[in-house]
């Protein structure tokens, strides 16, 4: 397992092909980001159109997350059976249908059902698209290429907030805009190749080799990579029970846990509810939306930085640089909400600054790494199901946070809610220090070899 592809042999043409594949596939992230982010603005208009309690607002917001739970679990086995490419095409179709249904919802019940449908496709995209990109990307560029999916997510969230600001209370138009990237993704996927690793798993080596030659730009490089893939692909397709095998279990622990921490440290809670929390603290409607929108712009910038850094300093090191700062931002933000909340313009400005810092460092830290790590760490024969499990962990804890945030703020107050998220973030930091492995620069087959050799966790690498 020491065979390594020459990192400098890829041609400009082959690199361009891989980049084109990555950009088109990552449009699923834009859809995911837009449809999850737009609800934060749409709630302000929906509450004027429908009678909505805290519970109803949380259910409308959480419907997409609930649907995602089913989407991410079902996608893994389906993509292992029928291929990564066809599943992404189906995801685009469901996105388009869900967006149209949401826009024309005659009632809250219909809207909830429509957002559940959107959730099916959102959950599927978080499982299948990072896996697809990871399986076609060269090892030395895999980080930035998979992270493009996360960039599209935060870009979609930013587009959602500023579209919402322009459209005001026109929530139907907000939902309808989701159709545009869905159609682009659908058309684009008809021109993209299947994952060569999936083709090898299905004993279609000739076609896999042809695709590898095209995306690597060299038959020599393609042949070396093909040999590595065949070493790990010659085993039956895995089952859910295989994820419980002792040698695979560390990957399950890392994948599911990092997805969990990305949610219970509060980032999606603020993406979904920041405008609502800020208006309750005395911000105007426009100021709350623009303040949150400005924070997401900085998050986009941080995601670009992260996409470069994960391949330069590594996934684990990047998290160790970002998460401590997000803890400080949460502590300060909690302090600023003490008592009746910010009473001066300076206090309100500081809250927006802390919100932006938190989003940049937490969302820009976990968000950059969770889909990347979950697409890398599982053995090929269970990669689809393993990535599904990681996505399920993300969505189940996202649902928990979505259904409790407003109630938690009402019960504890914003101050203690933010401090609770800070405490959980400290636990997450300890997890990163001791357990998250460094996968920078390794082929997917080398990562699988580390699992088999019982040197996967961070503390195990320090020992060996």
pLDDT tens-digit map of 321-374 = 999 999 999 999 888 888 656 667 777 778 878 888 888 899 889 988 888 898
Question: Strands, DSSP E only, in 30-87?
Answer: none
Can you tell me the distance from the alpha carbon of 263 to that of 269, in angstroms, rounded to the nearest whole number?
8
Query: 147 and 372 in contact (C-beta within 8 Å)?
Result: yes
- Could you tell me if residue 266 is left (phi over 0), alpha (psi between -120 and 50 degrees) or otherwise beta? left
Contacts of 443 (CB under 8 A, 6+ apart): 4, 5, 139, 225, 228
Task: Give the Cβ contact number of residue 459 at 10 Å.
Answer: 10
Tell me: pLDDT of 8 over 60.
no
Neighbours of 232 (CB within 10 A): 19
Q: How many CB atoms lie within 10 A of CB 382?
A: 25
115 is a domain residue: yes
Q: What is the biggest distance separating any 2 CA atoms in the chain, rounded to whole angstroms?
A: 68
Measured in whole angstroms, how far is the alpha carbon of residue 454 from the centre of its chain? 28
Q: What is the mean pLDDT of the chain?
A: 82
Structural domain includes residue 449: yes
Residue 429 near residue 326 (C-beta atoms within 8 A): no
Supply the CATH number for residue 163's domain: 1.20.1250.20
Closest by CA to 388, choosing from 203, 243, 232, is: 243
**Is residue 390 assigned to a domain?**
yes
- How many domains, the chain? 1
Split at pLDDT 50, 70, 90, the class of 419 is very high
What crossing angle do the helices spanning 364-376 and 285-312 adopt, rounded to 10°?
50
Give residue 64's pLDDT: 83
Q: Is the pLDDT of residue 30 over 80?
A: yes
pLDDT at 222 over 70: yes
Structure tokens at 44: 């302000």
C-alpha gyration radius of the chain? 22
Predicted local confidence at residue 20, as pLDDT: 81
pLDDT in tens, 37-69: 787 677 767 777 777 777 787 788 778 878 888
- Two structure tokens written together for 133: 């990109």
Is residue 201 in some structural domain?
no
With contact defined as beta carbons under 8 Å apart, do 101 and 95 qualify?
A: no
Cα separation, 277 vs 409, whole angstroms = 8
CA distance 391 to 348: 35
Q: Does some domain include residue 98?
A: yes
**Higher-scoring residue by pLDDT: 25, 121:** 121
The domain containing residue 303 runs over which residues?
Answer: 12-192+235-463
Say whether 202 sits in a helix, a strand or coil: coil
Q: Is residue 138 part of a domain?
A: yes
Mean local confidence (pLDDT), 145-153: 79
Q: Which two tokens stand for residue 364?
A: 């820009």
Cα dihedral: 298, 120, 289, 345 (round 10): -70
Separation between Cα atoms, residue 102 and residue 318, nearest integer Å: 38
d(CA 72, CA 65): 10
Q: Indicate whether 395 belongs to any domain.
A: yes
Q: Phi and psi at residue 8, in whole multiples of 5°?
A: -105, 5
Per-residue pLDDT at 333: 86
Minimum mean pLDDT range among 135-139, 275-279, 399-403, 455-459: 275-279
The answer for residues whose C-beta is within 8 angstroms of residue 252's C-beta and 6 or more apart is 243, 244, 386, 389
Q: Binning pLDDT at 50, 70 and 90, where does residue 457 land?
A: confident
Going from the C-alpha of 350 to that of each of 91, 162, 334, 346, 357, the distances in angstroms are: 40, 21, 11, 6, 10
Q: Average of pLDDT values for 174-184?
A: 87
Residue closest to 404 by CA, chosen among 43, 140, 65, 20: 65
What mean pLDDT comes out for the span 294-318?
A: 84
pTM: 0.71
Where b means 16+ CB within 10 Å and e means fewer, 118-144 reads bbbbbbbbbbbbbbbbbbbbbbbbbbb
196 touches 184 (CB < 8 A) = no
State how far Cα 413 lies from the chain centre: 29
Whole-number percent of the chain with pLDDT over 70:
91
Identify whether 219 is part of a domain.
no
Burial class (CB in 10 A: 0-12, 13-18, 19+), 359: buried
């Amino acid at each position: 397992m020491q065979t390594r592809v020459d990192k400098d042999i890829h041609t400009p043409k082959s690199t361009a092909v891989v980049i084109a594949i990555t950009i088109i596939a990552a449009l699923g992230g834009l859809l995911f980001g837009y449809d999850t982010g737009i609800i934060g603005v749409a709630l302000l208009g929906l509450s004027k159109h429908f009678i909505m309690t805290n519970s109803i607002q949380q259910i409308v917001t959480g419907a997409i997350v609930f649907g995602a739970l089913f989407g991410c679990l079902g996608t893994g086995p389906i993509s292992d059976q029928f291929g990564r490419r066809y599943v992404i095409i189906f995801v685009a179709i469901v996105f388009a249908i869900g967006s149209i249904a949401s826009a024309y919802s005659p009632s809250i019940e219909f809207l909830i059902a429509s957002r559940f449908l959107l959730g099916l496709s959102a959950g599927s995209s978080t499982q299948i698209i990072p896996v697809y990109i990871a399986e076609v990307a060269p090892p030395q560029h895999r980080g930035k290429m998979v992270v493009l999916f996360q960039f599209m997510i935060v870009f979609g969230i930013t587009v959602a907030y500023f579209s919402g600001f322009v459209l005001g209370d026109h929530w139907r138009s907000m939902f309808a805009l989701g159709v545009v990237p869905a159609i682009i993704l659908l058309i684009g996927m008809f021109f993209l190749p299947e994952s060569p690793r999936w083709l090898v798993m299905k004993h279609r080596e000739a076609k896999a080799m042809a695709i590898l030659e095209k995306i690597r730009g060299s038959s020599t490089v393609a042949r070396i990579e093909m040999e590595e893939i065949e070493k790990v692909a010659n085993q039956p397709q895995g089952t859910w029970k295989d994820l419980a095998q002792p040698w695979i279990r560390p990957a399950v622990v890392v994948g599911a846990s990092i997805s969990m921490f990305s949610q219970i440290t509060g980032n999606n809670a603020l993406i979904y509810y920041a405008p609502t929390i800020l208006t309750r603290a005395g911000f105007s409607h426009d100021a709350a939306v623009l303040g949150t929108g400005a924070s997401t712009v900085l998050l986009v910038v941080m995601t670009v930085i992260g996409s470069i850094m994960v391949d330069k300093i590594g996934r684990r090191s990047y998290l160790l640089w970002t998460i401590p700062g997000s803890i400080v931002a949460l502590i300060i933000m909690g302090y600023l909400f003490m008592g009746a909340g910010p009473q001066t313009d300076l206090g309100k400005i500081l809250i927006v600054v802390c919100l932006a810092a938190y989003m940049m460092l937490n969302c820009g830290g976990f968000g950059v790494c969770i889909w990347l790590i979950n697409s890398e760490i599982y053995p090929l024969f269970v990669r689809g199901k393993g990535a599904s499990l990681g996505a399920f962990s993300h969505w189940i804890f996202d649902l928990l946070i979505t259904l409790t945030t407003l109630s938690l703020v009402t019960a504890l107050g914003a101050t203690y809610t933010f401090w609770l998220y800070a405490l959980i973030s400290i636990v997450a930091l300890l997890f990163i220090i001791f357990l998250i492995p460094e996968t920078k620069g390794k082929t997917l087959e080398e990562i699988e070899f580390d699992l088999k050799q019982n040197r996967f966790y961070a503390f195990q690498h320090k020992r060996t």
